[in-house]
Amino acid sequence: MNKNIKEITLTGLATALVFVTTMYIKVPNNLGGYFNLGDSMLMLFSSVLNPFYAFVVGGIGSALADVIGGYAQYAIPTLIIKGIEAVFVSILFMKFGNKIKWVAYVGATIIMVSGYFLAEWVMYADALVSLSAVPANVIQGIAGAIIALVLLKKVSQLTENYRK
């Protein structure tokens, strides 16, 4: 099978998994948003995809969940924040491999937490309100990183063939 077809297929599957884990595995937080496990799939698949496809997986998968889940006001910030988060992970994995996986995932969490802090500060015009969501976002990022780390070896093995 053509390498591009395999990458596009994996990207579609990963985008769907980000959407499903964002949309259906969620716990409401104090700002009318929710804690979800979408970051786990975002980090995991960004570890094995190139930056363009990683952006699609993270940005579009997450933003679709916002639109369909009733949080359309977050769709554009989510597209940008999650897209940048995914590109960051992808670039670090392409450059350094699994050697710095913790750095990639912690950095992704920092991007996500700071991105939503800034977006909510602009949306609500109140730094204290946006600061109140930081703990839930940190927990979401840490949980996502742990799940991605647990699944990384298996997904890396499964996706090794598509790179050939």
pTM of the entire predicted model? 0.91
- Domains held by the chain: number: 1
Using CA atoms, how far apart are residues 57 and 41, in angstroms rounded to an integer? Answer: 9
Q: What is the pLDDT of residues 22-54, one digit of tens each?
A: 999 877 766 666 778 999 999 999 999 999 999
* Domain enclosing residue 159, as ranges: 3-163
3-state secondary structure 14-76: HHHHHHHHHHCCEEECCCCCEEECHHHHHHHHHCCCCHHHHHHHHHHHHHHHHHHCCCHHHHH
Q: What is the pLDDT of residues 62-79, one digit of tens each?
A: 999 999 999 999 999 999
CATH number of the structural domain spanning residue 104: 1.10.1760.20
